[in-house]
Amino acid sequence: MPESSAAVPAPNSTPSDAVLYNEKLWPNAWIWLVAAGLSGAGIFVFAPISMTAGLTAAVVLFAIIAVLLVLSTPTITVTGSTLRIGRASIDRRFVGTASAFRGKEATAERGTRLNGLAFLCIRGWIDPVVRIEITDPSDRTPYWLTSSRHPDELLAALKV
């Protein structure tokens, strides 16, 4: 599964709806290992009944966890007119300055410096975060905070 896609214009697109940046926040490999480990617990639960039931339970649990992980994977999309992160969308005219944070600074943005009114789309398996100021006077949300594996590319797309 690709972690990020390059900027790909939509077919028959106008400049305002051309995709400038697109990134899927896929789970890391260790998340899939955790999912496999958790689903393996089905073997221990059902093995006293039969090993076939245990293996079946493990496969079914892994399938359920995998579907949930894939369905809950958000996408960051920047076009000429909108910014979409997960299910949230905002006109680019209401997007203010954006800043990228890594390491301890990213941890502080997700923790001690976090505003309770901020919109969050963060994934624990992705360290860098991007803080995007919201300038809409009718919106109480001061900023959006999102995880990104390529924060510099996201910042560049937001500046276009």
Residue 89 forms beta bridges with which residues?
84
- Whether 33 and 9 map to the same domain: the answer is no
pLDDT in tens, 17-63: 899 999 999 999 999 999 999 999 888 888 889 999 999 999 999 99
- Whether 67 and 125 map to the same domain: the answer is no
- Whether 111 and 149 map to the same domain: the answer is yes
- Whether 111 and 40 map to the same domain: the answer is no
- Lookup result for tokens 């910042």: 155
Mean pLDDT, range 69-98, rounded to an integer: 95
Using pLDDT thresholds of 50, 70 and 90, give the confidence band for residue 15: low
**pTM of the full structure:** 0.79
Kindly tell me the burial class for residue 50, based on how many C-beta atoms sit within 10 Å of its own C-beta (0-12, 13-18, 19 or more).
exposed
Contact 25, 126 (CB under 8 A): yes
